[in-house]
Amino acid sequence: MSQPDYKNHPTLKQKLYVIVFGTETRTGKIFDIVLLWAIVLSVLSVMLESVNELNVRFGEIFTVLEWSFTVLFSIEYILRILISKKPAKYALSFLGIIDLLALLPTYLTLITTGGSYLIVIRTIRLLRVVRILKLSRYLREASVLGNALKASRHKIFVFIGSVFTLVMIVGTLMYIVESGENTEFTSIPRGIYWAIVTVTTVGYGDISPQTTLGQSLASLLMLMGYAIIAVPTGIVTSEIATAERDKKLSESNDKSCDLCGNQVHDHDAEYCKKCGNQI
């Protein structure tokens, strides 16, 4: 009896909860969209502040903007804590911790300098956009990608390990070969840095071999990098293909079992693989 009555006359806390945490009502949506724009603008403001010419001309505006956004987000954070049914759970959730971390840098500038750029952590708050736009389709695709990467994590681990060993050995060899005539290979860590830059085909060119032996070794590393770059691609492609096939199978399979309801059957199955019932 009190349930419908309760719904018609919600308390202020309940009203605010629907606006701040909810995404169904009109006011809830407006709140989320305003919040998103505030996040985008605050991140943009921090980035532009770092450009010297803009900082000289609009420095004070940036400071005002930064503090305005921070105060706004602080109020929002306190509000979320206050109206949340389980404050501790929110505060310790992934989004809750990000919400807090996104506030701290500005306050830190009162004590020390240089930390203000950490505000870039606010970009992670943009993840809320997923909830608002109800991009469930994107979430599903993201989960396909995520599962593919997760399923191949052992292979990727082995691969990164092999690459790292290769890079350490080649980097050291290059240091031994080049250090005499080339002023760019000043230490082994620098040689390893060069080897990573080369094997990943980034190739800045800030460090490059000068001796004939060094260039031969580098050519070898590049041709190996050719074969090497094929490996993670092969791993991920294979996993995505499997994930896709599984998704399609589970989606399109008309052959669900009447008895036990098991959905995933091969297209040539005549009996349910779970309960043995004829399909």
Name the phi and psi angles at 200, rounded to 5. -85, 5
Among 30, 71, 230, 258, binds a copy of itself (CB under 8 A): 230
Among 32, 73, 84, 265, binds a copy of itself (CB under 8 A): 265
Smallest gap from Cβ 13 to a copy of itself, in A, equals: 33
Smallest gap from Cβ 172 to a copy of itself, in A, equals: 4
Query: Considering CB under 8 A, how many residues would be counted as binding a copy of itself?
Result: 95
Using alpha carbons only, give the angle 239, 241, 246 rounded to the nearest 5 degrees.
95
Q: Using CB under 8 A, which of the segments 32-40, 75-83, 88-96, 270-278 binds a copy of itself? A: 270-278
User: What's the length of the chain?
Assistant: 279
Among 58, 240, 253, 256, binds a copy of itself (CB under 8 A): 240
Chain positions 36 to 55 lying near a copy of itself, rule: CB under 8 A, are: 43, 46-48, 50-52
Binding mask 72-101 for a copy of itself (x = CB under 8 A): ------------------------------
Smallest gap from Cβ 233 to a copy of itself, in A, equals: 4
Chain positions 150 to 179 lying near a copy of itself, rule: CB under 8 A, are: 154-160, 163, 165, 168-169, 172-173, 175-176
SS (H, E, C) the chain: CHHHHHHHCCCHHHHHHHHHCCCCCHHHHHHHHHHHHHHHHHHHHHHHHCCHHHHHHHHHHHHHHHHHHHHHHHHHHHHHHHHCCCHHHHHHCHHHHHHHHCCHHHHHHHHCCCHHHHHHHHHHHHHHHHHHCCCHHHHHHHHHHHHHHHHCHHHHHHHHHHHHHHHHHHHHHHHHHHCCCCCCCCCHHHHHHHHHHHHCCCCCCCCCCCCHHHHHHHHHHHHHHHHHHHHHHHHHHHHHHHHHHHHHHHHHCCCCCCCCCCCCCCCCCCECCCCCCEC
Smallest gap from Cβ 154 to a copy of itself, in A, equals: 4
Smallest gap from Cβ 122 to a copy of itself, in A, equals: 10
According to the binding rule CB under 8 A, does residue 272 interact with a copy of itself?
Answer: yes
Q: Using CB under 8 A, which of the segments 10-18, 24-32, 68-76, 234-242 binds a copy of itself? A: 234-242
Residue 87 or 203 with smaller CB distance to a copy of itself: 203
Residue 87 or 246 with smaller CB distance to a copy of itself: 246
Q: Is 32 exposed, middle or buried (0-12, 13-18, 19+ CB in 10 A)?
A: buried
Q: Which tokens sit at 43?
A: 């991140």
Smallest gap from Cβ 75 to a copy of itself, in A, equals: 25
Chain positions 193 to 212 lying near a copy of itself, rule: CB under 8 A, are: 193, 196-198, 200-206, 208, 212
Smallest gap from Cβ 266 to a copy of itself, in A, equals: 6
